[in-house]
Amino acid sequence: MLVTDLIHSCSNEMVAQAALKCIGGRFAERVRVAAQEKGMSVGRFVSIIVRDFARRADDGVREALRERITGDDQPLLKGLRAVLEPALEEGALFADEGLGRPFAVNMSCAGAHQYQ
């Protein structure tokens, strides 16, 4: 349920932006810079990555993420960070539903396996 809640809430640009602000620090700054490089708002950037994760992540990846965040004081924020980290570390294309075309975020699908 936690992963589903994360996906549903952070698929919304405003909620995604507020959640990232709650995370704060260097991590939030890295996400802000990445979003700026793509010419979009932080909320839109984060929500696109979350929606792409929802489309790509199989049951095993979702379960591994659920196990990683269960019991944390702020499981949704920890989960959001875990979903975003691979996008900042590696390199792949994400589909932006609004534009109807992929954009590079520097992430590969291999990054999703970090949850396991």
Where residue 110 falls among pLDDT bands split at 50, 70, 90? very low
**Cβ contact 13:44 at 8 Å:** yes
Q: Which pLDDT score is estimated for 97? A: 53
Mean pLDDT of 87-112: 51
Q: Decide: pTM greater than 0.85.
A: no
Give percent above pLDDT 90 in the chain. 69
Where residue 104 falls among pLDDT bands split at 50, 70, 90? very low
Mean pLDDT of 49-69: 94
Whether the per-residue pLDDT at 60 is higher than 60: the answer is yes
Q: Which pLDDT score is estimated for 103? A: 45
Q: Which pLDDT score is estimated for 1? A: 87
State the average pLDDT for the chain: 83
d(CA 58, CA 89): 21
Between residues 63 and 89, the one the model is more confident about: 63
